[in-house]
Structure 1
Amino acid sequence: MKIHNPFRVAILATLGVGVGLLVIVSIQNLSTILLYVGTALFLSLGLDPVVSFLERRGLPRWAAVLLTILGVLGVFAGIIFMVVPIIVSQITQLITQIEGLLQPGKWNEIVTGVQEWVTANFPWLRIDEVWAGVQHWFSTLDVGSISTMIGNSLLTIGGAVAAGLGGAFIVLILTIYFTASTPSLKSAVYQLVPASKRARFIELSEKITDSVGYYVMGQVSLGVINGILSAIFLSIIQAPFPAVLAVIAFFFSLIPLVGTLTGSTIIVLTCLIPGLGSPTTAIVAAIYYLVYMQIEAYVISPRIMNRAVSVPGSVVVISALAGGALLNLLGALIAIPVAASILIIYREVIIPRQNER
């Protein structure tokens, strides 16, 4: 290929690179806003099956949307005014207990007991020198500096919580808007497709949005079930801070594949903290969550997720890891429905075209 005007080509290439860099920088600067919008779209697709269910029961669209939005607002208000004060109170107690455990006298007692047990059962380890160094380090700890460190951490956590609540409020408003305007948004997107291919595009799009919606509702339902059962069970066995641990169980259940296991491990380890729980409580909790995970995997989850697209286990792992690496927790959450959407396109479009050749 002959280049008749190298200067013009260089100018165009430079402008192209500049526009590309500008787009990348703009996306980075707008990453938080894009995250809010993506989360709201994801949640609105999850609420769409509820709206459709109410419409099938004879309610007009506006009434179904209104009831759904009121339900979401009720849940949001209930979490803020009922659950949050209990969680804050129990977190304060937990921090107080941890601060007490960090006092040199308490740690010396714990370290001495562990040292005696390990020396009696594993004399070949010769850990006397290691324990002596650990005891010396804890004896030099300043309780005042520990309190200051904990106070600074609490301020940091408080700022993060305030920012999170602000972001949650923005996502809530966007979710309400997207839920109310889902048909018009879909219609606007469908109009961009040529008329000859519009019917097929609408069919695939409806399958994808339905799959995403059922997945979101199913995952939230699993989280609610795990959270409620955890709150009841942990209260019965008198585990430390059952409200906080139940919230942990709920949020980790939203993470596909490994969420329930991770949350259960955190709960069991919390029950082992000296002065808060006991080995017996931890063992009972571990047995309960082992049984619950089996029931969830083979009984609860198949019945709740029967209308969502099934995704092979290997694809779940790979997509969750990739999504987590790109968008952290949100990426891990939306990775499975995205993978399901790709599978729908693969099964409904690519495979039939290959079979026609």
Structure 2
Amino acid sequence: MKIHNPFRVALLATLGVGVGLLVIGSVQSLSTILLYVGTALFLSLGLDPLVSFLERRGLPRWAAVLVTILGVLGVFTGIVFMVVPIIVGQIAQLVGQIEQLLQPGAWNEIVLNVQTWVSQTLPWLKIDDVWASVQQWLSTLDVGSISTIVGNSLLTGAGAVAAGLGGAFIVLILTIYFTASTPSLKSAVYQLVPASKRARFIELAEKITDSVGYYVMGQVSLGVINGVLSAIFLSIIGAPFPAVLAVVAFFFSLIPLVGTLTGSTIIVLTCLLPGLGSPSLALIALIYYLIYMQIEAYVISPRIMNRAVSVPGSVVVIAALAGGALLNLLGALIAIPVAASVLIIYREVIIPRQNER
């Protein structure tokens, strides 16, 4: 190919690269705002099935949205007023327990207690040499450095909590707006599609949004079930900080695929805290959560998610990993609905077209 004006071609190529870099930089600068908008859209789609249910019962759109938002805010406000005072008190106990763990000789006491329990429960294990090595390693830990690291982590965590509260307020406002204006937003998007293909596009879009909405409601329902059952179970067995651990179980259950496993691991490890927990208590919690995860995977989740699009397990793993790598926690949350949407397009559009050829 003969280039008649190399300077013009080079200039256009340079401008094109510059515009691309500008767009990428703008997206990176607006990543936090885009995260808020994406989260709000995700939540509004989750509330839309509830709003539609109220509309089918005779309420106008504005009244259905108002009732839904007030109901959600009322539930969370009640939870905050009931649970937060308990959580604050238990967090103070947890911090005090961590401070005790950082005292000189505390780790040796923990190792001795665990060693005694294992020796009595599993006498056939020869663990004396292993525990001796562990005690020697723990005795070399610099308590002052650990205390500094923990203090800095607590300050960083407090700043992250403050920033998270501000972001949550912004997401709440955007969610209310998107929930109230969902029909108009959909109508505006539908008008961009040619009239000859608009009916089919609307049909697919409604299936996708319904699927996302049912998925969000289902995931929240799973979190509520895990949180409530965890609070009851941990209170019965006398686990430390049952309210805090129940909240941990709820929020981690919102994360697909690995959330329940991660939250259960944190709870079991917390039950090992010396002075408040014990290896026997941790073993009971471990058995409970192993049983619960099986029941959730094979009984509870299929019944709750029956109205959402079913996604194969391999696709769930790939989607969750890819979403988490791209958008961290938000990516992991929306990865499965996005995968479900792709599957709808695959089943409803691509496969029929291939069968027609």
Give the TM bin, normalised by the shorter chain.
over 0.9
Identify the residue that residue 295 of structure 1 maps to in structure 2.
295
Partners of 2:219 and 2:114 in 1: how far apart? 42
Structure 1 window deviating more from structure 2 (73-82 vs 300-309): it is 73-82
Offset at 1:149?
4.6
Aligned to 1:326: 326
Instruction: Please state if 1:306 is matched with 2:306.
Output: yes
Residue aligning to 2:159: 159
Structure 1: distance between partners of 2:310 and 2:127 = 53
Deviation per CA, 1:130-159: give whole Å up to 9, x if none: 633532x25x634xx765554433222111
- The alignment status of 1:21 with 2:21, answered yes or no, reads yes
Partner of 2:270: 270
Match 1:134 to one of 123, 133, 138:
138
Shift of the 179–11 alpha-carbon distance from structure 1 to 2, 3 Å rule, reads same
CA-CA distance at 1:161 after TM superposition: 0.4
Question: Is structure 2 residue 339 aligned with structure 1 residue 335?
Answer: no
The alpha carbon displacement at 1:91 in A equals 1.5
Retained in 2: the 8 A contact 1:47–1:217? yes
1:69 is aligned to: 69
Read off the aligned partner of 2:308 and give its amino acid letter. A
Give the TM-score normalised by the residue count of structure 2.
0.93
Identity %: 84
Deviation at 1:193, TM superposition (A): 0.4
**Secondary structure of residue in 2 paired with 1:306:** helix
After superposing the two structures, state which structure 1 stretch, 86-95 or 341-350, moved more.
Answer: 86-95
Q: What is the match of residue 222 of structure 2?
A: 222
SS at match of 1:67: helix
Task: Flag structure 2 segments of 5+ consecutive residues without an equivalent.
Answer: none
Unaligned runs of 5+ in 1: none
CA offsets per residue over residues 241-294 of structure 1, 9 Å max, x none? 001110111111111122212211221121122222112221221222222222
2:89 & 2:75 partners in 1: Cα distance? 20
Whole-angstrom CA distance in 1 between matches of 2:324 and 2:243: 27
**1:104, 1:141 within 8 Å by CA — same for their partners in 2?**
yes
- Equivalent pair of 1:214/1:308 in contact (CA under 8 Å): yes
Q: 1:151 to 1:356 in 2, by over 3 A?
A: same
Change (3 A) 1:146 1:287: closer
Cα distance in 2 between the residues matched to 1:113 and 1:208: 55
- CA distance 1:35–1:294, change in 2 (3 Å): same
- Which residue of 2 is the match for residue 188 of structure 1? 188
| Structure 2 Cα separation of the partners of residues 129 and 220 of structure 1 | 45
- Structure 1 counterpart of 2:218, one-letter code: G
Letter in 2 for 1:141: V
Partner of 1:249: 249
Q: Is the 8 A contact 1:99 1:146 kept in 2?
A: no
1:342–1:66 CA distance, 2 compared to 1 (3 A): same
User: Are 1:239 and 1:271, in contact at CA under 8 Å, matched by a contact in 2?
Assistant: yes
Moved more, 289-298 or 147-156: 147-156
Listed one character per residue, the Cα deviations across residues 45-76 of structure 1 (whole Å, up to 9, x for unaligned) are: 00000000001111111110000111122233
CA displacement, residues 5-31 of structure 1 (integer Å, 9 cap, x when unaligned): 111111111110000000000000000
Q: Distance in 2 between matches of 1:86 and 1:256?
A: 28
Q: Which moved more, 1:86-95 or 1:10-19?
A: 86-95
Paired residue for 1:212?
Answer: 212
CA drift at 1:115: 6.8
CA offset at residue 182 of structure 1? Answer: 0.1
Q: Which amino acid aligns with 1:320?
A: A
The Cα RMSD (Å) is: 2.1
Range with greater deviation from structure 2 (67-76 or 44-53): 67-76
Look up the equivalent residue of 2:24 and give its one-letter code.
I
* Contact kept in structure 2, 1:321 and 1:332, CA below 8 Å: yes
- Are residues 116 and 306 of structure 1, via their aligned partners in 2, closer, same or farther at CA, if it must alter by over 3 Å? closer
1:274-289 matches, within 5 Å, as: 274-289=274-289
Letter in 1 for 2:88: V
CA distance in 1 between partners of 2:127 and 2:308 (Å): 56
How far is 1:111 from its partner?
4.0
Contact 2:102 2:147 in 1 (8 A): no
**How far did residue 83 of structure 1 move?**
2.4
From the superposition, tell whether residues 118 and 207 of structure 1 become closer, same or farther in structure 2 (CA, over 3 Å): closer
8 Å contact kept, 1:51–1:61? yes
Query: Structure 1 residues 348 and 237 mapped into 2: Cα distance closer, same or farther (>3 Å)?
Result: same
User: Whole-Å Cα distance in 1 between the matches of residues 350 and 182 of structure 2?
Assistant: 28
Which residue of structure 2 lines up, in the alignment, with residue 30 of structure 1? 30
Cα deviation code 1:301-335 (max 9, x no counterpart):
11111100000000000100100111111111100
C-alpha distance in structure 2 between counterparts of 1:211 and 1:133, whole Å: 53
Distance 1:70 1:278, change over 3 A: same
Alignment-derived partner of residue 122 in structure 1 = 126
Tell me how many residue pairs correspond in the alignment: 353
In the alignment, the residues of structure 1 paired with residue 284 and residue 133 of structure 2 have an alpha-carbon distance, to the nearest angstrom, of: 35
Report if the CA contact (8 A) 1:204-1:345 is conserved.
Answer: yes
